[in-house]
Structure 1
C-alpha cells in the first residue's frame, strides 16, 4: 500500500467539565456550559477556541463562518469530545464536552477508544525495552516468537521481519486495519487473528513484499509484534504496556485492557469504576454493545482520555529537547531518522522551516481520534470523539488551534467556488473502486443540491465544486480534493492521489 492508501487507512448544547491539572475557575462561554477549570493564563484563548471553530478551507469572496464547539457537535451528531491543548511544553487546558442528548456519565476520567493512537504508544514502549536491553528492534522476529510460526513469504535471512519493521510499517506484511468484534460474538485470540481462523474478520498474515523496503500500513504487523512481546516477557500484553509506558508516565486513565461490562460505572472492592464513552455511528446511534472489542491491542485496543494522550506526546517532546526521564534525546532523534515517505513509525512527520511536527490519527467503529505535537515548540493538541462523524471536527480543532496559537502546520487553504449543473451532479452518483482496493460511493442530496463522498469507515464528505484544474470538488472541513475526469458513465475521479473507477 502506498502513501495515499496509508493515509486513508489511518483515515468528529454542551456541558463542560475541565480536566486541567491546575488553575482557577473561569466563567464558561458556551450557552449550556458549566463552570470549568483552566490555567491562569488560558481563559481568554480557551473561550476564543470554544466559540471560533474554523474550517480547513476558506472560500474567496465569502466571509468566513465561525462555529462553536456546541454547534459542531450538534451538526455532526457527536455525543462528546475529550480535548487537550498543549502550549510551550505543558498542557495549557483540557476539557470534556457533552451534548445535551448524551445521558452517559462523561467526565474527565472517561475513557475513549483511541484506535490507531494505540500504535505509537506501543512503539515508544518498545523503544524503552530496547534501551533497557530486553529486546533488539533489529533482530529477526522469528528468534523471539515461541507461540506462532511465520508463514513463508518474501522475507529472507538478509531481509527478515523485525520488531522494528513491524512497527514502522515496512515489514511487507499484508496491509489494512481492523473492524473489531461485536460484544457477545466469539472473540479470536491474537494468534487466531494472525492465522485467519474462522472467527477472525481479517485476512491471515502473509508476507507480500520484501521487508524493510516499502511503506505499507499494516495493523496485522502490529499484532505480530504484540505476540512477540508476549512471548518475550511471558505476560499478557496489557500488563507489559502498563509496566513499560503507562505507569511510568502516570497515565492513570489509560489501559490496553478491554473494559469489563461489570466494571463500567459500578465500583466494587476489587475493580475501580471505569467511565466509558460509548461509540456512535454517523447518525448519532449508539453502536451495538457500546463499543467493539479489539483483541489486536497493540494496533487498536487502547483506551484513554485526551489528558493522558497529551502527557504521552509531551514526553516525546521532552525527549527531543533532552529533558525526558524515559526517552533519551538520541533515541528520539534516531527515531526521526527512520523517515519513510513523510512518515516515521506511523507518525506523519512534517517539516516547516525549523519546526518538526509529529501527527497521528485513528479510527475504530464508533470512534475518531487525533494528536499532534511540535517537537520544536511543545505546542499541540489531542482530540478523542465517540462518533464515526469525528474526522471533520477533528480537522477543524487542529485548524483552530493553529490559527489561535500561530502554529506552522495545519494552516487553512483558500479556494474559489464555482457553479455546477444539477444534472451533472446527479450523474456522478454511484459506486467506485478506489486504488483497486476500496469501494467508495458518491451520493446526491436533492434538498441541498450537493454530492457527498462516502468512505467504508462511515465518513461522509460533503463536496463543494471549486475552480481549478479539471472538474474539481473539495470537502471544506478537511480540504480533501476530489477531481473528476468526465461527466459520463465512464466517470473516474482522483482522491488522495489515487484513481477511483465507477463500478459497473
Structure 2
C-alpha cells in the first residue's frame, strides 16, 4: 500500500460515513462520526489504524462519561468485550506451540479442578480445537457481568453456583457437529489454561501475550480500571444511561474480561497477519493460518477469529459487546492494515459498522475478474436447480431454474450483482482450474458446481 497520511485519510473517511452499510456499497446518505455519535447517543469513541510497517494513527472522540467525565483519547481504556476471546485464543495457540497443549486432545487430559459433563452426568470427548472454534456444543451463554461485590469465581460460573446468573456449563449438543457461538467455550478454555500452567489467567496472559505483543495498556485483571492512572471509559446502556458503578466485573475473563485500547488490539491482529506470512517471532505460520481457517466447512469462524473472505473483502478479527460497551478489531491481510474501534455504549454497533464499512472500501484488495468465456456454462445449486451462465454482447447473463435470463451487473473485484434481486455472484477457480459459482444472499453463501465440466 502506498505511503499515505493516515490522519488525513481518516479525517476524510470519518467525515462521510455511510448510514446504510448492509449493502456493502456507499450510498448517498452519509453522516459524520459526530453526527452518528449524537444520533445513537454514544458518549465516546476511540479509533486506531495501523499497518504492518509499524505506522499507527489513533485518536479519541467524545467523553469517558461519569461525574468526572474527561475527553476520550487514544490512551483511554475500554472493555474489549468478546475480543477477549480472540486474544485468549492467541495465548492458547502459544501453549500449543510450546507443547503444553494439543489442539485435538481431549480436554479432560488437562482439566484437574473441574470436569465437563453432559446433562446426564457423562463426560463427553471435547477437544481444545472445539473450544476455540465454538464447536464443542456447550451451554448457550452470554455473560452480562456483575457488580464488584457480587461477582462469583470462575469455578462457580462453570458450576452455576454462588451468585452466578448463568446456567452451569454443560455439553448440550453433539461435540464437533456444528458451530454455536457461546462464551461458555472460553470459560472452559480459561480454566484449562490455568490448570495446565498453574498460573492465574490474568498473569498468564500478561506474560504469554500482552507483554510480548507490547499491549501495555491492556489487562485481564478485573482490578485494572481501578489501578490505571489514565482515564477509563465508563459504560452506558442504550439511550445513554450510565452503567451503575461505571462497568461490570467479568469473572469469565477469557470470554469477555479484557480491558484494552484500539491501538493495543490492532497490534495483536497485525502480529497474527505477520505470523500468517511467516514473519512473526511469536507464533508459527501454521498456527496463525489455523486462526483464520474456517473450522466448519463454509463457516465464518476460525480459532477465536471471525472471518470474512469473499471477493473484494478479505479480513479477519473479532467483534464484541458487553453491558455498556461495543467494539471491533479487524485486519485486512492483503493490504497489511488493521483498524480497531471501541465505544462506551451498547448502542455503538451501528456507528462501528459504518466505520468498518469505510475501512472495507479503503483496504479490501480487489480481485481480478475471470475471463467471461471461462465461466460460461451450466451450474447446479442442487440436482433440481440448474443455473445457466452465458456471454451475450460482452456481458454475462444469468438464468436460474427456468427464470428469464438477466444481464448481471459487473462490480469491482470480480463480483456481479443481479439487477433485481438481493443476489451477489462470483466465480471461484478450483485447484483443477475449473470454476464453481458462489451465490450470496442475505449474508449466506451457497455453492453451485459446474455441470458442464462434470459431463465433459
Residue 104 of structure 1 pairs with residue 70 of structure 2: yes
- Distance (whole Å) between structure 2 residues aligned to residue 378 and residue 406 of structure 1: 10
**Match for 1:379 among 316, 325, 337?**
337
Rounded Cα–Cα distance in structure 2 between residues aligned with 1:406 and 1:334: 21
1:2-401 to structure 2, matched below 5 A, reads 41-57=5-21, 64-87=28-51, 90-99=54-63, 103-104=69-70, 106-152=72-118, 160-184=125-149, 186-259=150-223, 262-263=226-227, 273-340=229-296, 341-353=299-311, 356-401=314-359
Q: The residue matched to 1:71 in structure 2 has which SS?
A: helix
Aligned partners of 1:380 and 1:54: how far apart in 2? Answer: 20
CA displacement, residues 374-393 of structure 1 (integer Å, 9 cap, x when unaligned): 22221231111100111100
Tell me: CA distance 1:99–1:51, structure 2 relative to 1, closer, same or farther (3 Å). Answer: farther
Cα RMSD of the aligned pairs, angstroms, is: 2.9
Alpha-carbon distance change, 52 to 322 in structure 1, aligned in 2, over 3 angstroms: same
Q: Is the 8 A contact 1:295 1:301 kept in 2?
A: yes
Alpha-carbon distance in 1 for matches of 2:5, 2:338: 17
- In 2, Cα distance between equivalents of 1:274 and 1:171: 39
Deviation, structure 1 residue 91 = 4.4
Match for residue 21 of structure 1? none
Offset from partner CA, 1:452-490 (integer Å, 9 cap, x none) = xxxxxxxxxxxxxxx9889xxxxxxxxxxxxxxxxxxxx
Q: Distance in 2 between matches of 1:209 and 1:296?
A: 21
Residues 64 and 70, structure 2, Cα contact 8 Å, conserved in 1: no
Distance 1:45-1:336 versus aligned 2 partners, 3 A rule: closer
CA distance in 2, matches of 1:306, 1:78: 17
- Given that residues 195 and 205 in structure 1 are in contact (C-alpha distance below 8 angstroms), is that contact kept between their aligned partners in structure 2? yes
Contact 2:292–2:305, Cα closer than 8 Å, also in 1 = no
Cα shift at 1:306: 0.2
Aligned to 1:343, the other structure's residue is in SS state coil
CA positional deviation for 1:352: 2.5
**Residues 192 and 57 of structure 1: is their aligned pair in 2 closer, same or farther, counting only changes over 3 Å?**
closer
CA contact (8 A) 2:18 2:27 kept: no
- Residue 210 of structure 1: CA displacement? 2.0
SS at match of 1:294: coil
Partner of 1:267: none
| TM-score scaled by length of structure 2 | 0.73
- Residue-by-residue CA offset, 1:438-458 (whole Å, 9 max, x unaligned): xxxxxxxxxxxxxxxxxxxxx
Change (3 A) 1:262 1:382: closer
Query: 2:111·2:191 contact (CA, 8 Å) conserved in 1?
Result: yes
Q: Residues 342 and 260 (structure 1 numbering): CA distance in 2 closer, same or farther, change over 3 Å? A: closer
Mapped partners of 1:153, 1:398: distance in 2: 41
C-alpha separation in 1, matches of 2:65 and 2:322 = 22
Give the whole-Å Cα distance in 2 for the aligned partners of 1:408 and 1:223. 39
Task: Give me the whole-angstrom Cα distance separating, in 2, the residues matched to 1:67 and 1:354.
Answer: 24
C-alpha deviation, 1:217, in angstroms? 1.0
Contact 1:223/1:296 (CA < 8 Å) preserved in 2? yes
Distance 1:191 1:123 in 2: 20
Structure 1 pair 40/333, CA: closer, same or farther in 2 (3 Å)? Answer: closer
Aligned to 1:488: none
SS at match of 2:148: coil
Q: Secondary structure at the match of 1:208?
A: coil
Shift of 1:84: 1.2
Contact persistence 1:255–1:303 (CA under 8 A): yes
Equivalences, count: 366
Q: Distance in 1 between matches of 2:227 and 2:20?
A: 40
* Cα distance per residue 1:81-137 (max 9 Å; x no partner): 111123465444211112598723633322110100000101011111111122222
The answer to whether the Cα contact below 8 Å between 1:154 and 1:208 also exists between their aligned partners in 2 is no
Query: SS at the partner of 1:312?
Result: helix
Contact kept in structure 2, 1:53 and 1:66, CA below 8 Å: yes
Separation (CA, whole Å) in 2 of partners of 1:220 and 1:85: 31
Q: Label 1:336 to 1:310 Cα distance change in 2 as closer, same or farther (>3 A).
A: closer
Q: Does the 8 Å contact 2:64/2:71 carry over to 1?
A: no
Contact 2:86–2:317 (CA<8 Å) still a contact in 1?
A: no
Q: Partners in 2 of 1:338 and 1:261 — Cα distance?
A: 35
Contact preservation (8 Å) 1:155, 1:210: no
Deviations 1:162-210 (A, max 9, x none): 22211110112112211111233x2110010111114101011111122
User: For residues 401 and 237 of structure 1, do their structure 2 counterparts lie closer, same or farther at Cα, with a shift above 3 Å needed?
Assistant: same
Q: Distance in 2 between matches of 1:86 and 1:222?
A: 28
Distance 1:337 1:406 in 2: 18
